[in-house]
Amino acid sequence: MSKDGLFKWISDRCNDPRFLVRVATANDLQDIANLDSAYGDHSVDIAGLTAWHTRYRDGAYVICYRADEKSSWEVIGSLGIWPVTAEAFAGIVSGRLKETDLEADAIMAYAQHARYAHWYVGGVTLRADFRQKTFIGERKGLSARPFVILMQY
């Protein structure tokens, strides 16, 4: 499945109007780093995340929530889908590298219409108060559970 295919798959299953998944902007990076910091030594810090985002601006996604249409969107989770070098990919697959070991030069530089061979999916975070819960949408009783399932490891 391609990166766009994965993103569409996730978005299609989140039919609850209280949730939104979108590409993160530079303004979202601190929120992502704050969420990720809950994972301690396994967290990518704000400097690392900013360096990755500078190399490939479409690599981080945020999961946003608002209680109703009058509320503002708040970032409650994130997911990273990053094109990486063959060496970085091999290091992660073999277990020699962790996410926190990836330097900016391991992330492939953004180029419009580029096709990348190796992808790293990681940095999956969800705010603690949204973990292991099901949210039923007002419309058609649809569930936003895919994000919760991602976090139950």
- Residue 112's pLDDT is 86
The closest of 6, 148, 17, 142 to 76, measured between CA atoms, is: 148
Regions of the chain with pLDDT less than 70:
1-15, 132-153
Please write the tens of the pLDDT for every residue from 25-47. 999 999 999 998 877 777 889 99
Alpha helices in 17-78 (DSSP H): 29-36, 46-55
Please write the tens of the pLDDT for every residue from 106-119. 999 999 888 899 99
The SS3 of residue 110 is coil
d(CA 30, CA 85): 25
The SS3 of residue 2 is coil
Q: Per the structure block, which two tokens stand in for 1?
A: 């499945």
Q: Per the structure block, which two tokens stand in for 144?
A: 């936003």
- Residue 152's pLDDT is 33
- Residue 5's pLDDT is 66
- Residue 153's pLDDT is 29
Under a CB-based contact definition with an 8 Å cutoff, are residues 87 and 93 in contact? Answer: no
- Residue 12's pLDDT is 67
Measured in whole angstroms, the distance separating CA 17 from the mean position of its chain's CA atoms is 19
